[in-house]
Amino acid sequence: MSNPEPLLAARDLTKAHGRTEALRGASVQLRSGEILAVTGASGSGKSTLLHCLAGIVRPDGGSVSYGGERVDRLPERRLSELRRTEFGVVFQFGQLIPELTALDNVALPLMLGGAGRKEARERAGEWLERFGARAQGELRPGELSGGQAQRASLARALVTGPRVVFADEPTGALDSLASEQVMSALAHTARATGTSVLLITHDAQVAAYADREVRLSDGAVAPVGVTA
C-alpha cells in the first residue's frame, strides 16, 4: 500500500556539538505523504536530527538521502535551493518576521521565489484562510496569539508547496486547545496535499496525529514500545 522507497532517509548519523555527541548512529526514514513523530527525552538529539535531515546542519558521519540526492554532500547553493523549494520548516516559536504583517510573512517565500507582490499576497491570503488565520492577515506577529502565529507560520511553511515539512515542537508554547487547532490544521493540510511531515514533539496528544512514531534515546532511534 505505502511506497516502499523512503522519500527521505538518514542512516547511521553522528553529530557532535563540541564534546557532546548529540547523534550516535541515528537512522530514520520518512515516506512520501507520511506524518512521522520523533519523540524522546530532552537532549536525546531530536532537534539535531531534524537539522541534519533538513540540510540546516551537516552531520559528522552517516548519510542523508532525499530522492536520489545525498543531502549531506550537496554544495551550499544546491542545499539552499532544496531548502527553499522542497522543504518547509516550523519552529516552536514561529519566527515570523516581526516588522511584516502575517500576510506579508506568508507572501515572502513566494516573492523570494520570483512571484510578484500582488500574486504572492493573493496566494498568501488563501493559505492563511486554510489555516483559519485570514482575519489576522494585516496584523503583525506581536499582535497575534501564540496559536494564530503558529498557524501563520504553517501557512508560510506550506505556501511554496514543499514536499516535506519539518516541525520542531510546533505546539510547544501553546495551551492544549491552541495545540489541537494547530495540529489538526497541519495534519489536514498535509494529508490533502500529500506533504510529508517530520514532527518533533514530547506531547503524546500531538504525536497521536502522526502515522508513525520513532523515539530517540541518547542520539539513536529506539523502537517505540521497547525500553533500553
Q: Site residues (CB under 6 A) for ligand ATP?
A: 17-18, 20, 22, 40, 42-48
Q: Choose between 51 and 121: whose C-beta lies nearer to ligand ATP.
A: 51
What values do phi and psi take at 188, rounded to 5? -60, -45
90 within 8 A of 150, measured Cβ to Cβ: yes
Nearer to ligand ATP, 48 or 181 (CB): 48
For ligand ATP, the closer CB: 110 or 165: 165
> Least separation, in Å, of the C-beta of 125 and ligand ATP?
33
Question: Cβ(133)–Cβ(155) under 8 Å?
Answer: yes
Nearer to ligand ATP, 40 or 109 (CB): 40
CA distance 107 to 122: 8
Give the distance from CA 110 to its chain's centroid. Answer: 18
Q: Report in angstroms the alpha-carbon separations of 105 from 20, 36, 97, 191.
A: 35, 27, 6, 24
The grid cell for 78 is: 544546491
Query: Which grid cell sits at 146?
Result: 501564540
- Measured from the CB atom, is 40 or 88 closer to ligand ATP? 40
Q: Nearest distance from residue 91's CB to ligand ATP, in Å? A: 11
Nearer to ligand ATP, 55 or 137 (CB): 55
CB of 205 to ligand ATP, least distance (A): 17
> What does the block give as the cell for 19?
564534546
Q: How far is the CB of 92 from ligand ATP (least distance, A)?
A: 8
Q: Are 181 and 132 in contact (CB under 8 A)?
A: yes
Type of residue numbered 217 = S
Helix/strand/coil for 167: strand
Residues 83 and 72 sit within 8 Å (Cβ to Cβ):
no
Closest separation in Å from C-beta 80 to ligand ATP: 20
